Amino acid sequence: MRIILASPEAKVWSERKHIPLGIGYLAAVLRQAGHDVIIYDAAIEDYPVTYYIEEAEAAGKPYQLIGISAATPLIGDAWEMAKTAKRYGLTTILGGPHLTILPAESLGPEHPYVDYTFKGEAEEGIVEFVDALEKGEKPEDRDIPGLNFRRGDEIIVSPISPMIEDLDSLPFPAHDLFKIDQYTNLQPLTDGLDPHARSFTILTSRGCPYKCTFCSKPVTGDTWRGRSVENVVAEWRWLVQELGATEIGVTDDIWNLKLPRAKDLCRRIVEEGINTVPWTTVHGMKVNHTDPELFLLMKAAGAKRVGFGVENGDPWMLKNVIRKGQSLDQVRNAFRWAKEADLQTMGFFIFGMPKDTEETMEKTIQLALELDPDLANFMLAAPFPGTKMWDIIQEGGEVFAHEWPDYAIHEQKARFVMHDGEYDPDLVVKKWREAYRRFYLYRPKRVWEKVSKKSFWLDLPNTAANARRFFIGAKDQQAPQLAGAEPVTSVSGLVNRM
């Protein structure tokens, strides 16, 4: 069967472009099953998806199916793409994190162009699904876990697709199907934005046993499944030796959960001589599963930069509200050891969790200044449906983010209020912006570090856009309740507004 696997327009994301690895995995299993697959990532394409659909039709080899992936802020774009594809007669299926949380929403009467949705990891389910379509059968008759559909007026939501136990049994993602030259490097804020970097990403494990209250991990879940070191090394070798990677991003939820395994991986990368390409832990690693040796081994294996989720500078907030499962001393140690190993560091900090006050947010800023990472990423808390944080707000506050794009991290606006008489969404935005100013602007050493880099000047438009967003802010970064927005009180309430 001829299939398009697509990631919809990513206006919600920044100028940074990363490959959508989930559909890379699906492309690999479908290709292995003999199907003809292309990957369409709207974030980097020069043409609309209709160009490829029409071109294939004109060549007498039309696409029959489009599979679209969506995180929550992208769901509107996914619907638009499905609507377009339906006009050309393609069968449409949507999957990814948002569909795993709210599988029925997209099958409602307002989205008649969505034929199916999928909940959970789909490497097994999609092959079965496509096999049914190809044989002219109805996939809904095959009882495929994870597959959701309409039957008459009813929406049938099936149990979530079981997680794949043996990740080594999967083929490597179809990295070769991505138009890799169109993606940027992974950390442009400090490197300058290379629009033609060959930046690949790799997942060495799936899932995370921690339960941070803000974290939405509907697909990969609360257990941890690691690939064997040899399996990861084989993929790494492919990226370095055959696909010409110039940068590799490890995008696991927690790649270093098992310290000996993490060290083994680094040792094997060195032994194989594939430590020539710089790599980063794009989304961070966990501070309490590190030691000095790990960072030295990472450096030897070619790592350039490590990121850590720090979140908050107040121990009570960390333990009781965020439930991060790590102490401030562990944070300090990890930063120190990483710097001693001559690795660049990134810190991720969240502003505006429930119970955050002026004092706790000030402690967060102080901690960022003390740790002094090369890159500090300050984010405003976003209550994704399905998280513990969402429940906490339902019990003691109100969400006023009405549209799914409001959940984009880079949208950077206050999204909820707590009714405890202490939580102030406007103060949250103020402190968040203050953090950027105090970290990047008000320290002469920092400013000099920035402007003395060639990339600062080469990448001036991007730098200026980021500066405007972080230091000055847009009008809509004020708390929306001030503009009279109605609170959203439940997931279904939120869904009905769409």
Which of 9, 140, 253, 356 lies at the binding interface for ligand SF4 (CB under 6 A)? 253
Shortest approach of ligand B12 to residue 67 CB, angstroms? 3
Alpha-carbon dihedral angle through residues 187, 7, 174, 138, given to the nearest 10 degrees: 160
Contact 13, 1 (CB under 8 A): no
| Interacting residue with ligand B12 among 67, 192, 309, 397 (CB under 6 A) | 67
Order of strands across the sheet with 147-151?
36-41, 2-7, 65-69, 91-95, 116-118, 147-151, 154-156
Tell me the chain's radius of gyration from C-alpha atoms: 23
Nearest residue to 149 via CA among 138, 141, 161, 157: 157
Per-residue binding string, ligand B12, 234-273, x by CB under 6 A, is -----------------x-x--------------------
Residues 435/368, Cβ–Cβ less than 8 Å? yes
Contact of residue 25 among ligand B12, ligand SF4, none (CB under 5-8 Å per partner type): ligand B12
Among residues 155 and 441, whose Cβ is nearest to ligand B12?
155
3-class DSSP state of 111:
coil
Taking contact as CB under 6 A, which single stretch among the options 32-40, 102-110, 215-223, 224-232 is the one that binds ligand B12?
215-223
- Which one of the spans 93-101, 108-116, 204-212, 395-403 is the region binding ligand SF4 (CB under 6 A)? 204-212
Binding ligand B12 (rule: CB under 6 A), the pick from 121, 356, 406, 434 is: 121
Question: Looking at 27, 90, 97, 274, which residue binds ligand B12 (CB under 6 A)?
Answer: 97
Check residue 163 and report its DSSP letter.
Answer: P
Stretch binding ligand SF4 (CB under 6 A), from 89-97, 210-218, 292-300, 456-464: 210-218
Q: What's the min distance (Å) between Cβ of 215 and ligand SF4?
A: 3
Helix (H/G/I), strand (E/B), else coil: 382: coil
The contact mask relative to ligand B12 for 367-396 (x = CB under 6 A, - = no) is -----------------x------------
Residue 26 binds ligand B12 (CB under 6 A): yes
Distance between CA atoms of residues 24 and 386, nearest Å: 26
**Which residues have a Cβ under 8 Å from the Cβ of 187 and sit 6 or more positions away?**
16, 280, 282, 305, 346, 375
Structure tokens that stand for 40 in this block = 């369409």
Our finding on whether 287 is near ligand SF4 (CB under 6 A) is no
Residues that bind ligand B12 (rule: CB under 6 A) add up to a total of 44
Among 73, 309, 313, 373, binds ligand SF4 (CB under 6 A): 309
Element (H, E) at 377: strand 375-380
Binding-site member from 198, 286, 415, 431 for ligand SF4 (CB under 6 A): 286
Identify which of 80, 69, 15, 75 has the alpha carbon closest to the alpha carbon of residue 40.
Answer: 69
Secondary structure E strands in 71-162? 91-95, 116-118, 147-151, 154-156
Which residues of the chain form contacts with ligand B12 (CB under 6 A)?
Answer: 7, 10, 12-13, 18, 20-23, 25-26, 43, 67-69, 71-74, 93-98, 101, 118, 121-123, 126, 203, 215-217, 219-220, 251, 253, 283, 384, 408-410
Which residues of the chain form contacts with ligand SF4 (CB under 6 A)?
Answer: 208, 210-212, 215, 217, 253-254, 286, 309
